[in-house]
Amino acid sequence: MHERPSVEERAVIVQLDFGHDDLAEQLEEVRLLALSAGASICAVVHGRRHSPDAATYAGKGKVGEVAAEVLAHEADLVIFNHELSAGQERNLEQALQCRVIDRTSLILDIFAQRAKSAEGKLQVELAQLEHLSTRLVRGWTHLERQKGGIGLRGPGETQLETDRRLLGIRVKSLKERLVKLERQRGVQRKARGRGELLNVSLVGYTNAGKSTLFNALTHAGVLAADRLFATLDTTTRKLWLAEAGHIVLSDTVGFIRDLPHSLVAAFHATLEATAEADLLLHVVDSASPARDEQVGDVNKVLAEIGAAGVPQLMVLNKLDLTGLPPTVERDEYGTLLRVRVSARRGDGLSLLREALAEVALAKNRNLRQQSSGEADLQDIDMVFDSDGSA
């Protein structure tokens, strides 16, 4: 198995076109992912295919082109911006004589670097082990040998079977520990719920400016950097609104196109807080040419974690890059649709606070109506558009 070097790795990126229109955006995204992981990009190989090759994904001719780039630049790593099977990774490593990883492995590596809390590290390790369980045969030909020696001869089990068994034990242990942490989170959420405060979660595509906005509103000092997945661990703070009092605001992990299902499953406990929020602030990079696609990708992940029905208020961020003025947009019935802000410069934050106060006051009115037994209740969904569409 190829060892990971301790210095910065020189990487060749492979991006194949299967007829998609957003190829340039996908290439820019994988470039940012590679840089976020600490790789130095020395070459990019493009190609067009009708369908993936069963053995090498890229086909024999394209693999030869990639091999030439690896040799010319003395690359340590080849990154496919696609999902590879275990067999395809093994065949590519044999042909290219260097490590080969796919998009999922790249994202998992970034998450492993960024996880800081004990729970975050457990979640990332679980996702990595479940991904590795399908790839134990990749380059591990020596593990097919059976154990031998005095006292160990006989049928026994192969080293590969032993590794699989030990990996299964570790995965079971991690899941049990995460269940305990999830129960603790549930107790904390119930305590916040008893306080009858509006519970708001920031969601959005990675690098849309969620953490910058969170810091601008709460002065929490969360790491905010111009890179993908700068922060992973959920941070929660109380936010004081002059008109409505305190609300609870949480900054969550960013989403991305084709977010690995193993990560979504591992981060279930963290993302569950999003599904139980009263309101989602869907932060969007308004300067991105792929804005609409990113909104769709975020909504797909929200549906996967059971948060599709949670009301959304869209926040179009980065107005400093578009030149548009800050504003609040409503429909013909006065329903909140979206707020345009610049979290970096602070433009429009007062408008966002007013919008949050409006939602919080609506929740308080509903609670008072419920406690007084009034039958005609106005649900919080009436305050803004729940689909969050741009």
pLDDT digits (tens, 9 = 90+) for 5-43: 456 789 999 999 988 767 888 888 899 899 988 899 999
User: Would 111 be classed as within a structural domain?
Assistant: no
**pLDDT of res. 377:** 44
Residue 232 is labelled as binding a ligand: yes
Find out whether 204 is annotated in a ligand binding site.
yes
In a domain, 286, yes or no: yes
Domain around 62 = 10-101
Q: Which residues are within 8 A (CB) of 103 and not within 5 positions of it... i.e. 6 or more apart?
A: 30, 33, 79, 80, 81, 82, 83, 258
Q: Does a structural domain hold residue 390? A: no
Q: How many whole angstroms separate alpha carbon 181 and alpha carbon 122?
A: 10
> Does the annotation flag 27 for ligand binding?
no
- Do residues 24 and 63 both lie within one domain? yes
Residue 245 lies in a domain: yes
231 is in an annotated binding site: yes
Is 80 annotated as ligand-binding?
no
Return averaged pLDDT per consecutive 10 residues of the chain, 390 residues in all.
59 90 82 90 93 94 96 95 91 94 89 78 84 62 45 52 79 85 70 71 90 90 65 81 90 80 68 83 93 92 88 95 93 91 95 94 81 54 52
CATH code, 74 = 3.40.50.11060
- What pLDDT shows up at residue 7? 62
Do 235 and 201 have their domain in common?
yes
111 marked as part of a ligand binding site: no
pLDDT confidence of residue 390: 47
205 assigned binding-site residue = yes
80 within domain boundaries: yes
Asked if residue 110 is part of any domain, the answer here is: no
Q: Is 173 annotated as a binding residue?
A: no
Give the domain CATH number at 319.
3.40.50.300
Q: Is 252 annotated as a binding residue?
A: yes
Q: Is 319 annotated as a binding residue?
A: yes
317 is in an annotated binding site: yes
Same domain, 94 and 166: no
In a domain, 173, yes or no: yes
Q: If you write DSSP's letter for every residue of 297-356 in order, what string do you get?
A: HHHHHHHHTT-TTS-EEEEEE-HHHH-PPPEEEE-TT--EEEEE-BTTTTBTHHHHHHHH
The CA distance from 48 to 126, in Å, is 35
pTM: 0.75
Q: Are residue 331 and residue 292 in the same domain, yes or no?
A: yes
Q: Do 27 and 51 fall within a single domain?
A: yes
320 in a labelled binding site = yes
Residues 122 and 20 in one domain: no
d(CA 1, CA 169): 22
233 is in an annotated binding site: yes
**Number of domains present in the structure of the chain:** 3
Could you tell me the sign of the dihedral formed by the alpha carbons of 315, 275, 205, 213, in that order? positive
| pLDDT tens digits along 87-131 | 999 999 999 999 999 998 898 888 888 777 777 788 888 888 888
pLDDT of residue 279: 93
Backbone angles phi, psi at 357, to 5 degrees: -65, -40
Task: Specify whether 318 is located in the same domain as 255.
Answer: yes
Give which of 16, 381, 356 is closest to 217, Cα–Cα.
356
Residue 243 lies in a domain: yes
Q: Are 203 and 305 found together in one domain?
A: yes
Return the pLDDT at 202: 93
pLDDT at 306: 85
Is 38 in the same domain as 127? Answer: no
pLDDT confidence of residue 22: 72
Give yes or no: residues 228 and 363 share one domain: yes
